[in-house]
A = this chain, B = another copy of it.
Amino acid sequence: MNHLISIEDLDRAAIERILDRAESFAEIAGREIKKVPALRGRTVVNLFYESSTRTSSSFELAAKRLSADVVSVRSTGSSVEKGESLRDTVQTLSAYEPAAIVIRSPHAGAARLLAGWTDASVVNAGDGKHEHPTQALLDVFTLRRRLGRLDGASIWIVGDVLHSRVARSNILAFQRMGAKVTVCGPPTLLPRGIEALGCAATPTLERLGEADVVYVLRMQRERMQEAFIPSLREYAERYQIGVGRLRTGQLLMHPGPVNRGVELSADAIDSPVSLIGEQVRAGVAVRMAVLYELLVGAAAPAVAA
């Protein structure tokens, strides 16, 4: 395994191996010295063509806690602005002989292309509407910690499924771990033929009570202008998840950043059933585990400080 482009690259055993390793890194994050020497002297390039706080800082910190040297390249203030093609940028960055390149791009398929142009391991940190595999892994990690196992769990993914790379990666990952997935949202925001991925689809929250886990997607304001939804207020009335719509025992997740008062009510975000904080916390440990898996390898002995 050289790259992590899509959840489809991972079988269940590989996911579980990464998650087990992430557990040991999560333990290290609780220590005062949150650092291991695994990648000392190796270089990780973060190449972000979209703005991002949580994903870019999470990857940056993951690499630093593995003792790697990190170089961050953003579309602002870089040659990317001079119209250099992705290919040329990657060839430039590859000349540094990085161990890994982490890429966030607005274009579906960018990470896969990149993997063809470099000897570095490529980690997809979100490519257009395609995939965001480390988000899915940290979500599975969070749920596994809470539930023990995902087998047989019913997970509803609610909101703008059509434009969501998170939805796509999470449908694949949840199912691979044995969960049953239902997607729910306005018909304009559910991709036709989504059932081909193995999940169910429904346009209303009516049967939401069946869910063990309610995974809410971010609604982007632009969708209103693009006429996918009539108004954010009407969307919120029909699909917003508040404490009142959840039954006892249901868990709530969201990939962040949240639009408070749109897809989630404020009371839900801060309620005890919300796993949002745990999801973010899982991010660094899971990304450390992904980098470790790709750069040190599955066969490596247990990590130690």
Contacts and interface: CB of A to CB of B under 8 A. Distances in A.
Given A57-B96, A257-B82, A277-B91, A51 B77 contact: yes
A184 interface: no
A227 interface: no
A210 interface: no
Interface stretch (A1-9, A32-40, A161-169, A185-193): A32-40
A53 B69 contact: no
B35 A41 contact: yes
A106 to B, nearest CB: 14
A280 B40 contact: no
Q: Say what secondary structure dominates the interface of chain A.
A: mixed
A29 interface: yes
B280 A54 contact: no
Interface residues of A, number: 58
A8 to B, nearest CB: 28
B89 A53 contact: yes
A113 to B, nearest CB: 15
B85 A57 contact: no
Nearest to A78: B53
Interface string A75-92: 111111111110011011
**What are the 10 closest A-B residue pairs judged by CB atoms, nearest first?**
A33-B41, A53-B79, A95-B280, A35-B41, A95-B281, A84-B257, A53-B78, A64-B69, A76-B77, A51-B77
